Amino acid sequence: MEDNCIFCKIANGEIPSATLYEDEDFRVILDLGPASKGHALILPKSHAANLFDLPDELAAKAMILAKKTARKLQEGLHADGINVVQNNGEAAGQTVFHFHVHLIPRYKGDTVNLNWKPGELKDADKEEILGLFRS
Ligand code: AMP
Ligand code: ZN
């Protein structure tokens, strides 16, 4: 646990939350500022600021838990879809610096805004990025 981390306190039960699920590694809670009905957060009990700090084993478990929980939320709430979102860094919209996965049920015609305007893949960008992945 990290001092002054609100999600450490919530995940470890020091601060009460609307808990949907808990195991030795994670707590799943309802978001206090939901984007839609059923917006939930998956919180690891151990502190990791973001995805890059999260041990691989927990990253793998988080995705499996996201899959199970997302299915249950979507079916139980009769949602039409669900977004699985995970923000890293302020520029990416992260406001709480303890890794978490958002599960945001979606309903036809809702006003949740996760959209971007498609750009165009530039040749120079493509070459630069492909170069990063060449060995
Ligand atoms: P992010 O912007 O990805 O860091 O997401 C942080 C999320 O945490 C937001 O959706 C907030 O509404 C939510 N949040 C912040 N504080 C609390 C809290 N005490 N309990 C539940 N959700 C919270
Ligand atoms: Zn923390």
Does 132 have pLDDT greater than 90? Answer: yes
User: Is residue 12 in contact with ligand 1, taking CB distance under 6 Å?
Assistant: no
Helix, strand, or coil here: 20?
strand
pTM of the model: 0.97
Q: How far is CA 33 from the centre of its chain?
A: 14
* 29 pLDDT more than 90: yes
Torsion 9-15-42-50 (CA) sign = negative
Half-sphere exposure of 26 (CA within 13 A, CB side): 23
Taking 90 as the threshold, does the pLDDT of residue 1 lie above it? no
Residue 73: both structure tokens together: 């939320």
Active site (annotated) includes residue 47: no
| Rounded CA separation 32/114 (Å) | 18
Largest CA distance in the chain: 51
Q: Are 99 and 40 in contact (CB under 8 A)?
A: no
pLDDT tens digit string along 34-83? 999 999 999 999 999 999 999 999 999 999 999 999 999 999 999 999 99
Contact, 48 vs 99, CB < 8 A? yes
Residue pLDDT, tens place only, 73-112: 999 999 999 999 999 999 999 999 999 999 999 999 999 9
- The predicted pLDDT at position 99 comes to 98
Ligand 1 in contact with 31 (CB < 6 A)? yes
Which residue CA neighbors atom 3 of ligand 1 most closely? 94
96 Cα–ligand 1 center, Å: 6
C-alpha 20 to ligand 1 mean position (Å): 15
Name the residue among 70, 27, 65 with its Cα closest to residue 46.
Answer: 27
**Ligand 1: does its nearest atom lie under 6 Å from the Cβ of 93?**
yes
Indicate whether residue 95 lines ligand 1 (CB < 6 A). yes
